[in-house]
Amino acid sequence: MLQKRIDDQPSISRSMMREAEEILHRHLKRVGLKQTAQRDTILRTFLETREHLSTDELHRLVKKKDARIGITTVYRTLKLLAECGLASEVAFHDGIARYEHQYNRRSHHHMVCTECGSSVEFFSPEVERLEQEIGRKHHYLTTRHTFQVYGVCEDCRKKNGSRRVV
């Protein structure tokens, strides 16, 4: 799992978890799918985790709670969570799709090391303003964006003997 994730809140409260479940349940009803205990387990496990998770990583965590939940159910549920705004897919340098939760989080960005794959999340009011400005210019009401910066982290530069400061 990738490290250095930051969050506005260190954990999710019971009332927040119930609200997130309600968001998922309304979405399931809207798209004609059933609310299931397995989907709820996947959602709770996902929201309790503060990492950027691949489908396989989330599946390993979910199986500890319910061994009957298959990888396909985790994959499909992650897609549903992304559809209803509880999750978003993030792509780092390794080609593996990872997800992070978006419930009750402010917009943030990623800096990704192309050598070791570590990532750092950061907040930038300037990027937020730029999103709004571009939206207004093109007559869009912007709802979200992704912004990732790629480079080489300090540890990798030290390891490789590079003195260049980025």
Q: What is the CATH number of the domain that holds 164?
A: 3.30.1490.190
How far apart CA 91 and CA 78 sit, in angstroms, is: 15
Residues 156 and 86 in one domain: no
Residues 5 and 83 in one domain: yes
Which comes out higher in pLDDT, residue 153 or 119?
A: 153
Domain boundary among 88, 105, 122: 105
Instruction: Please compute the mean of the pLDDT values over residues 5-16 and round it to a whole number.
Output: 69
pLDDT over 90 for what percent of the chain? 40
pLDDT band at residue 81 using 50, 70 and 90 as cut-offs:
very high
Give this prediction's pTM.
Answer: 0.70
pLDDT of residue 2 exceeding 60:
no
Domain boundary among 75, 105, 135: 105
What is the tens place of the pLDDT at every residue in 136-161? 999 998 877 777 788 898 889 888 87
Residues 83 and 131 in one domain: no
Residues 3 and 72 in one domain: yes
Residues 82 and 7 in one domain: yes
Instruction: Please compute the mean of the pLDDT values over residues 101-108 and round it to a whole number.
Output: 70
Q: Sheet with 97-101: list strands edge to edge.
A: 53-54, 97-101, 87-91
Which comes out higher in pLDDT, residue 39 or 102?
A: 39
Which comes out higher in pLDDT, residue 93 or 155?
A: 155
In this predicted structure, what is the pLDDT of residue 69?
Answer: 97
Residues 110 and 100 in one domain: no
pLDDT band at residue 4 using 50, 70 and 90 as cut-offs:
very low
In this predicted structure, what is the pLDDT of residue 143?
Answer: 75
- Count the domains in the chain: 2
pLDDT band at residue 105 using 50, 70 and 90 as cut-offs:
low
Residues 90 and 69 in one domain: yes
pLDDT of residue 86 exceeding 50:
yes
In this predicted structure, what is the pLDDT of residue 104?
Answer: 64
Residues 74 and 110 in one domain: no
Residues 95 and 110 in one domain: no
Q: Which domain holds residue 126?
A: 106-166
Token pair, residue 153, equals 């982290």
Token pair, residue 137, equals 């210019």
pLDDT of residue 132 exceeding 80:
yes
Token pair, residue 18, equals 């119930």
Residues 140 and 162 in one domain: yes
- Sequence-separated (6 or more) residues with CB below 8 Å from residue 136: none
Which comes out higher in pLDDT, residue 42 or 113?
A: 42
Number of H helices, E strands in the chain: 6, 6
How far apart CA 107 and CA 10 sit, in angstroms, is: 16
